[in-house]
Chains A and B, each alone.
Chain A
Amino acid sequence: MEISKNKNPDYYLLNELFTDEEKAIRDTVREFVNHEVIPIIEKYNQEMKFPFQIIPKMGELGIFGPTLPPEYGGMGINNVAYGLIMQELERGDSGVRSFASVQSGLVMYPIYTFGSEEQKKFWLPKLASAEKIGCFGLTEPDFGSNPGGMITKAEKVDGGYLLNGAKMWITNGTIADVAVVWAKLEGKVRGFLVEKGTKGFSAPETKGKLSLRASVTSELVFEDCLIPEENILPNSGGLKSPLMCLTQARYGIAWGVVGLAMECYNTALDYSLSRIQFGKPIASFQITQEKLAYMLTEITKAQLLCFHLAKLKDGGTMRPQHVSMAKRNNCEIAKTIASMSREMLGANGILDEYPVMRHLNNIESVKTYEGTHEMHTLILGEDITGIAAFE
């Protein structure tokens, strides 16, 4: 036990606006990440493995589906606390945050929102405790930004639905006990729960990733895969259903990447104060100070976006476009900050002794997944002008 280094940037004293409960939740996840993730993650990243040993510990902490009500294994926490959990997890690693985002936002959320009472009662407590792991299949090899064009289809047959098609870029796919899969049934997008071991269902792992290496990414393949009748999500209907899930996940990303940016800033600040060149710390040079000023300003702006977005979400006035703005902005600045941090560390910046190169590689994925930067730009463009540029 040590006291955490509570030096994370909070230039506008947002901490004063957090409740005791929000602070306590953030601090306990921060301690967890400091002790269980940061010391080991570089090794797992290099070996391209997910640190499975942390999954039951995260379940015990209670950070899966924490905004859901207690009767389904949730904790009923608000969206500020949920966001702070994501921030702290991604301060450790985007892969670890992705694991939690998928479990909470993309698996528990749709089962809670579109599932039957039986499905909710069966799956949600098991997913909350991490006894079961879930994944979410929407994206296809040829349908990324345009998920409405999906080819995967379900056919009503005796005893259930026959599923055919393939999904791509699925976090946790290979290790999941249950996949929330989106497929067209009579032309309409519906959600299905596909359980591990179902005949005709396979989930090979995606190899050769240079980003999000401490995360399992997979393909989901369905070949005449028979899904029992009771595994359709009864209240799902249309593309809107999976898009509602994406809003949840994007919300978590908007907060998460602030943690990534904070860690890169902290590293650059420490380094620039201790690295001596020309007889003085490089922090003395105006070019370094300009970078630090930029980083801290952008982190502060991103924190404020997140905090207010949480208030809108808790207040019920948040729209998906609000989330697009935060996801788009925060990924962009996090990527710039990670890159600046790498530059400020000079050659040392590429070493695994520092977290910045890993974060820089990870943010490339995070900026792209859950809606590319470009798609979020067009979503905002449509919201502003009323004209959709992507249709």
Chain B
Amino acid sequence: MKIVVCVSLVPDTTTKIKISGTNKTIDETGVSFVINPYDEYAVEEAVRLKEKNGGDVTAISFGNDKYKEAIKKAFQMGADAGVLIKADGEFDSYTVAKNLSDAIKEIKPDIVLFGKQSIDFDGSQIPAMVGELLNMPAVNIVTKLDINGTAAVIEREVEGGKEIIEANLPLIIGTQKGINNPRYPNLKAIMASKSKPITEKAPSYTGNKLEVTEMKLPAAKSKGKILDGGAASVPELVKLLREEAKVV
């Protein structure tokens, strides 16, 4: 089975985000980056598929040199080869999806796995876009995946329940928390990961269809108002909730 897993790099979740001087990007000074947490489910699922069906796992990432960290984490968890589509700058979802699609096309995989979204921009767009660009079925927010031959039975989360979908390989899957418990890379895998190759490629497209014009942090929470007249303050409270807070 030829398996591809796409991985991204995001600021550690404990990072305090600051906006850079241009107001269009975040300030990366002192920020530590980690593999996108949802991508760990995708890597784990990819490695389990390999362990069950044989084959190999290629981890692909799109970004600058730093993104090798995400590929290396995939190596430590059991991926066999890596591709970095090397590009510096800010790119929209389409550009990322287009580059990933072009790289995936060359590999001709049976299945492509993603995290359901990256936790930096939270776009949740890439799996569907890659599906469209490669003309492959794409299912996102997947919590269970069973593959038998070329037939897949997929469970995905929907509001208040779950949806069961059948599809044929080749297929694109976006993984959701709950699909598996990602392994702790053991020392053997960490040592073995050193000799796994990362192939670098030039981007096939850097055109961007969207432009970020401004980034803003959420407005600081304004100070609360306390009415301290006891029961006598209730009419005033109702008035404020209605006219000022506009919540009732």
Report A's interface with B, CB cutoff 8 A: 1-3, 5-7, 20-21, 24-25, 28, 31-32, 60-63, 66, 75-77
Contact = CB atoms under 8 A, between A and B. Distances in A.
B191 A76 contact: yes
Contact of B188 (A2, A6, A21, A62): A62
Interface in B30-57: 32, 34, 37, 40-41
B37 A2 contact: yes
Nearest to B36: A3
Nearest to A62: B187
B202 to A, nearest CB: 25
Nearest to B181: A1
Nearest to A29: B184
A3 B76 contact: no
Nearest to B77: A28
Contact of B190 (A2, A6, A7, A21): A21
B204 interface: no
Given A3-B14, A76-B191, A28 B41 contact: no
Given A5-B14, A7-B14, A32 B187 contact: no
B123 interface: no
A98 B211 CA distance: 55
B181 A25 contact: no
Given A1-B177, A28-B190, A61 B184 contact: yes
A176 B216 CA distance: 60
Given A1-B37, A28-B190, A77-B187, 7 more contacts: A1-B177, A24-B72, A25-B190, A28-B184, A28-B185, A32-B184, A75-B188
B186 A28 contact: yes
A290 B194 CA distance: 44
Q: Which 3 A-B pairs have the closest CB atoms?
A: A62-B187, A75-B187, A3-B13
B138 to A, nearest CB: 23
Contacts, number: 53
Q: How large is the interface on B (under 10, 10 to 19, 20 to 34, 35 or more residues)?
A: 20 to 34
25 contacts: A1-B37, A1-B181, A2-B13, A2-B37, A3-B12, A3-B13, A3-B34, A5-B14, A6-B14, A6-B32, A20-B72, A20-B194, A24-B185, A25-B187, A28-B76, A28-B184, A28-B186, A28-B187, A31-B184, A60-B186, A61-B184, A61-B186, A62-B186, A66-B187, A77-B191
Nearest to A76: B191
A7 B177 CA distance: 24
Given A3-B14, A5-B14, A77-B191, A24 B76 contact: yes
B72 A63 contact: no
B182 interface: yes
Nearest to A27: B185
A307 B41 CA distance: 34
B182 A1 contact: yes
A7 B30 CA distance: 12
Nearest to B38: A1
A20 B76 CA distance: 11
Contacts of B34: 3
B191 A75 contact: yes
Interface string B170-193: 000000010001101111101101
A54 to B, nearest CB: 12
B90 to A, nearest CB: 23
A5 B76 CA distance: 20
Contacts of B182: 1
A24 B13 CA distance: 18
B33 to A, nearest CB: 11
A31 B188 CA distance: 16
A338 to B, nearest CB: 24
B12, B13, B186, B187: most-surrounded residue (chain A CB, <10 A): B187
B13, B181, B191: most-surrounded residue (chain A CB, <10 A): B191
